[in-house]
Amino acid sequence: MSGETEYLAAYDPREFPPVAVTVDVVALTILGGVLHVLLVERGEPPFAGRWALPGGFIRPGEDLDQAASRELAEETGMADRVHIEQLASYGAPDRDPRMRIVSVSYLAFAPDLPDPRAGSDAADAAWYGVDHLPELAFDHARILDHALDRARAKLEYTPLATAFVGETFTISELRGVYEAVWGVPLHAGNFHRKVLSVPGFVESTGETTESGGPRGGPRARLYRAGDARLLHPALLRPEREEEVR
């Protein structure tokens, strides 16, 4: 046998401390103009009865992305319309009381996600407004904070906001996404001008809404996501605009 073959034949993973890998998913959507995150009530120890981000151990033969999509599908019943991306890794030795567990977190966005359903190991599942959260299990409050920071920053320089709306949308609906995620009101006229000044951000469908706004008036033009991957110029948060002036 070659040296490598001999090495692998004699290799014993039990000589090293055991480490498990999980995925945790921060799923965000906008309900009633408010940014919400999906939480599950843990049905088993540790932290039974506490709320947490949906997630779980990766299965044999499953890669990280597949595990995250599976966990999201189990809680929402859908994963095909959802934008999902890897966020960060968390490996503090004491983050889980069971054993050394490293978690790879994911950030997911989608418009109009359905009412969640609890997976096999959860007692309940619900959407929570990000400003009215229960105490979270493990280090999930930290993970959620990082996810919100990422989402708010990405709205500045990527077309991520279009993942929160339907296939076609109005500029007003797009502004509602920015207001919900950033948590601040935006000037309608200025926002409209900025969006249309960014090449490839949105493109007109040539169609309009079937009716005017709630107070009447002209029908709004409909847009779809353009082909831009980065926004230039970026759409800065109001406080960031003040910083760069």
Please report the DSSP string for 123-177 in residue order.
EEEEEEETTS-PPBSTTHHHHHHHHHHHHHHHHHHSSGGGGGS-SSB-HHHHHHH
- Whole-model pTM? 0.89
CATH (residue range 10-146): 3.90.79.10
- Amino acid, res. 11: Y
pLDDT in tens, the chain (245 residues): 578 998 888 888 888 889 999 999 999 999 999 999 999 999 889 999 999 999 999 999 999 999 999 988 887 666 566 889 999 999 999 999 999 999 999 999 888 776 777 766 677 889 999 999 999 999 999 999 999 999 999 999 999 999 999 899 999 999 999 999 999 999 999 999 999 999 999 999 999 988 766 666 688 999 999 999 999 999 999 887 766 55
Going by CATH, does the domain composed of 158-244 fall within 1.10.10.10?
Answer: yes
Domain residues of the chain, as ranges? 10-146, 158-244
